[in-house]
């Protein structure tokens, strides 16, 4: 099937009235659930699963895909305005997005998040038409040793995020990895660090960790000075201030491009997905920035790159699912379930046997991204009005949103207590100048790292041979070694320079 025929088949499927409506409903619901912490796309798509069985399979996947990438944008709204990441992939958006909001630039941050997501979405859709089927093989080149090496490199890079002490960042990374081991062992199923508490048997929930460490701790910081006396957040006064200006676009162009490319490739990897992409993009932007110290204080590049990356990854993660039958993340696993129930087994033959499904879903992403931008950009001025709400009114709203978000994860008050525990821990960490963001990333990657590290040892018959005999793994580990060497040289040369 040639390219033009693929595009024709895709758009003929995506542009039927029925599929356009499903796409709109998906992106709208996705944006709403992205805004609300806790109620993520996995839960929403799972709730929709029984209804999907009676729907046409292509329409069902278009609806679910819309929810998924709609949630990526929705998650950034609360991250920018109130520092509560609606989704795990929006955690890094909190850092510079919230700082921009405090400086009266919430509109620009929301605008660049929307436009960046749109540009990335369109670029990835085109890329998927061109190279999607061929790129599916890329995921197969990654075995356990490659994943271990990739995650290790990612964790080392994340310590570069910290503008403070790197040893404190490494402390937070190791703490995050340790927290990821709470629950059942991924291979033997033995309980670890559960203290007999039933809620901990399945491990700690990422949403609880993020809401506690970012949302509740922010509330306590607010309370420290009195929420009623909280410094008012600067408001945009004109329409021009509500949207990104020429300088914002100049600064954001390359981060959007880099975020799109990075998100596209990381989205193809099982376990990669939107969260890893947004963190990696933030690290990359900080590394290449001429003034890295601006990051964390309202650098628009810190919003543009990650937001483009998470949307790009959300879309490209459909390739391994549809062409190999490998779900890249929990959302894809649920969609895989929906496909299997309808009697469709995704795999290499799917593109040839059901082209309307593969290319129809890809074409619907272009339609969905267009809907997202039409839906969200006019709403920016309304979202920004949220900043006018006084701290004393915002505080109870944050409390209730976080509590409801935590409770609805498994309809249990124990989850709320865990979230509050993390909130208090996050507040104390920030008091002793420990940044919780590296902890959250390490937590997300911990399970992937442990499983792949142990599988590598198993395949290597108890030795580390896989790490130096496989070229991709060896190259990634060499990059990590270079990074460590650079840090050691920097650490030793700094006191000498100071000494003159």
Partner 1 sequence: MSEEGAAAPAAPRWQVLGFVLLTAMGGYAVAVSLRLGLWRQGSPGEGLFPFITAVTMMTFSLIGLVGALRAVPRPEATGAELRDAPLRIGVYVAGLVFYAAALDALGFIVSTIVAVVFILRCAERYSWLTAFALAAGTAAGCQVLFVSWLGAILPTGFLWDALFY
List the interface residues with partner 1, window 222-241 (CB under 8 A): 223-229
Cα 49 to Cα 45: distance, rounded to the nearest angstrom: 6
Give the DSSP letter of residue 207.
H
Q: Are 284 and 258 in contact (CB under 8 A)?
A: yes
| CA-CA-CA-CA torsion sign (278, 284, 288, 294) | positive
454: three-class secondary structure by DSSP? helix
Enumerate residues 459-488 that contact partner 1 by CB under 8 A. Answer: 461-462
| Tokens found for residue 267 | 């989205």
Q: Is 383 in the site for partner 1 (CB under 8 A)?
A: no
Helix (H) or strand (E) holding 96: helix 91-102
Q: Phi and psi of 498, rounded to 5°?
A: -60, -40
Alpha-carbon distances of 293 from 102, 307, 326, rounded to whole Å: 17, 20, 40
Number of residues that bind partner 1 (CB under 8 A): 85
Q: How far is the CB of 83 from partner 1 (least distance, A)?
A: 8
Q: How far is the CB of 5 from partner 1 (least distance, A)?
A: 41
Cα 251 to Cα 301: distance, rounded to the nearest angstrom: 6
Q: How far is the CB of 162 from partner 1 (least distance, A)?
A: 5
Q: How far is the CB of 161 from partner 1 (least distance, A)?
A: 4
Place of tokens 């029984």: 50
Place of tokens 């491009």: 257
Among 240, 252, 233, 260, residue whose Cα is nearest residue 112: 252
**Whose Cβ is closer to partner 1: residue 167's or residue 353's?**
167
**Whose Cβ is closer to partner 1: residue 367's or residue 441's?**
441
| Tokens found for residue 479 | 């990059």
Out of 434, 445, 448, 473, the only residue in the binding site for partner 1 (CB under 8 A) is 434
| Tokens found for residue 451 | 């499983």
Q: Is 49 in the site for partner 1 (CB under 8 A)?
A: no
Q: Is 393 in the site for partner 1 (CB under 8 A)?
A: yes
Q: How far is the CB of 361 from partner 1 (least distance, A)?
A: 26
Cα 200 to Cα 215: distance, rounded to the nearest angstrom: 21
Q: Are 86 and 74 in contact (CB under 8 A)?
A: yes
Out of 107, 154, 236, 298, the only residue in the binding site for partner 1 (CB under 8 A) is 298
- The C-alpha angle with vertex 37 and arms to 443 and 310, in degrees rounded to 5, equals 60
**Whose Cβ is closer to partner 1: residue 239's or residue 382's?**
382
Q: Is 175 in the site for partner 1 (CB under 8 A)?
A: yes
Enumerate residues 187-206 that contact partner 1 by CB under 8 A. Answer: 187-188, 190, 192-193
Cα 4 to Cα 110: distance, rounded to the nearest angstrom: 35
Q: Is 417 in the site for partner 1 (CB under 8 A)?
A: yes
**Whose Cβ is closer to partner 1: residue 181's or residue 465's?**
181
**Whose Cβ is closer to partner 1: residue 180's or residue 323's?**
180
Q: Is 67 in the site for partner 1 (CB under 8 A)?
A: no
**Whose Cβ is closer to partner 1: residue 12's or residue 424's?**
424
Q: How far is the CB of 476 from partner 1 (least distance, A)?
A: 18
**Whose Cβ is closer to partner 1: residue 91's or residue 135's?**
91
Q: Is 220 in the site for partner 1 (CB under 8 A)?
A: yes
Burial of 257 (0-12, 13-18, 19+ CB in 10 A): middle
Out of 427, 444, 470, 480, the only residue in the binding site for partner 1 (CB under 8 A) is 427
Q: Is 245 in the site for partner 1 (CB under 8 A)?
A: no
Q: Is 410 in the site for partner 1 (CB under 8 A)?
A: no
* Candidate ranges 249-257, 353-361, 424-432, 466-474; the one touching partner 1 (CB under 8 A): 424-432
Instruction: Report the 10 Å Cβ neighbour count for 46.
Output: 15
- Mask for 250-289, x = binds partner 1 (CB under 8 A): ----------------------------------------
| Tokens found for residue 375 | 């839906």
Q: How far is the CB of 234 from partner 1 (least distance, A)?
A: 12
Enumerate residues 15-34 that contact partner 1 by CB under 8 A. Answer: 32-33
Q: How far is the CB of 477 from partner 1 (least distance, A)?
A: 16
Q: How far is the CB of 368 from partner 1 (least distance, A)?
A: 21
C-alpha R_g of the chain? 22
* Candidate ranges 139-147, 366-374, 435-443, 468-476; the one touching partner 1 (CB under 8 A): 435-443
Q: Is 395 in the site for partner 1 (CB under 8 A)?
A: yes
**Cα 88 from chain centroid?**
5
Q: Are 13 and 366 in contact (CB under 8 A)?
A: no
Q: Is 296 in the site for partner 1 (CB under 8 A)?
A: yes
Enumerate residues 94-123 that contact partner 1 by CB under 8 A. Answer: 95, 98-99, 102
Enumerate residues 334-363 that contact partner 1 by CB under 8 A. Answer: none
Enumerate residues 141-170 that contact partner 1 by CB under 8 A. Answer: 161-165, 167-170
- The C-alpha angle with vertex 353 and arms to 349 and 357, in degrees rounded to 5, equals 100
Out of 140, 413, 481, 485, the only residue in the binding site for partner 1 (CB under 8 A) is 413
Among 4, 37, 9, 2, residue whose Cα is nearest residue 405: 37
Cα 422 to Cα 215: distance, rounded to the nearest angstrom: 10
């Amino acid at each position: 099937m040639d390219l033009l025929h693929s595009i024709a088949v895709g758009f003929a499927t995506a542009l039927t009235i029925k599929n356009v409506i499903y796409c709109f409903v998906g992106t709208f619901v996705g944006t709403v659930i992205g805004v609300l912490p806790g109620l993520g796309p996995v839960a929403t798509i799972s709730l929709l699963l029984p209804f999907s069985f009676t729907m046409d399979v292509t329409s069902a996947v278009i609806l679910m895909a819309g929810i998924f990438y709609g949630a990526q944008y929705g998650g950034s709204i609360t991250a920018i305005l109130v520092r509560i990441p609606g989704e795990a992939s929006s955690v890094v958006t909190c850092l510079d997005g919230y700082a921009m909001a405090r400086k009266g630039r919430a509109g620009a941050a929301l605008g660049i998040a929307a436009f960046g997501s749109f540009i990335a979405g369109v670029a990835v859709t085109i890329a998927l038409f061109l190279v999607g089927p061929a790129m599916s093989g890329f995921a197969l080149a990654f075995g356990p040793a490659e994943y271990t090496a990739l995650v290790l490199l990612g964790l080392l890079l994340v310590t570069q995020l910290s503008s403070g002490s790197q040893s404190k960042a490494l402390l937070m990374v190791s703490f995050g990895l340790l927290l990821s081991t709470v629950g059942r062992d991924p291979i033997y199923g033995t309980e670890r660090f559960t203290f007999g508490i039933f809620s901990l048997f399945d491990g700690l929930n990422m949403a609880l960790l993020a809401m506690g460490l970012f949302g509740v701790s922010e509330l306590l910081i607010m309370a420290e000075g009195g929420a009623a006396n909280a410094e008012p957040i600067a408001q945009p006064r004109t329409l021009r201030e509500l949207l990104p200006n020429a300088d914002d676009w100049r600064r954001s162009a390359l981060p959007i491009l880099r975020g799109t490319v990075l998100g596209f490739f990381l989205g193809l990897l099982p376990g990669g997905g939107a969260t890893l992409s947004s963190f990696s993009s933030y690290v990359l932007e900080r590394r290449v920035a001429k003034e890295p110290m601006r990051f964390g204080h309202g650098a628009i590049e810190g919003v543009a790159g990650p937001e483009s990356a998470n949307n790009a990854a959300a879309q490209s993660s459909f390739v391994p699912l549809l062409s190999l039958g490998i779900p890249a993340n929990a959302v894809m696993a649920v969609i895989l379930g929906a496909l299997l129930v309808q009697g469709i087994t995704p795999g290499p033959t799917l593109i040839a046997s059901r082209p309307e499904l593969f290319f129809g879903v890809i074409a619907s992403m272009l339609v969905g991204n267009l809907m997202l931008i039409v839906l969200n950009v006019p709403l920016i001025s309304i979202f920004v009005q949220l900043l006018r709400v006084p701290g004393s009114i915002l505080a109870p709203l944050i409390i209730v949103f976080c509590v409801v978000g935590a409770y609805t994860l498994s309809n249990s008050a124990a989850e709320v207590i865990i979230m509050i525990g993390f909130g208090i821990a996050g507040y104390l960490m920030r008091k002793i100048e420990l940044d919780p963001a590296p902890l959250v990333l390490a937590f997300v990657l911990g399970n992937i790292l442990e499983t792949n590290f142990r599988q590598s040892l198993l395949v290597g018959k108890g030795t580390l041979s896989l790490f130096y005999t496989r070229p991709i793994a060896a190259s990634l580990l060499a990059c990590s070694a270079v990074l460590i060497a650079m840090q050691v040289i920097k650490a030793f040369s700094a006191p000498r320079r100071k000494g003159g």
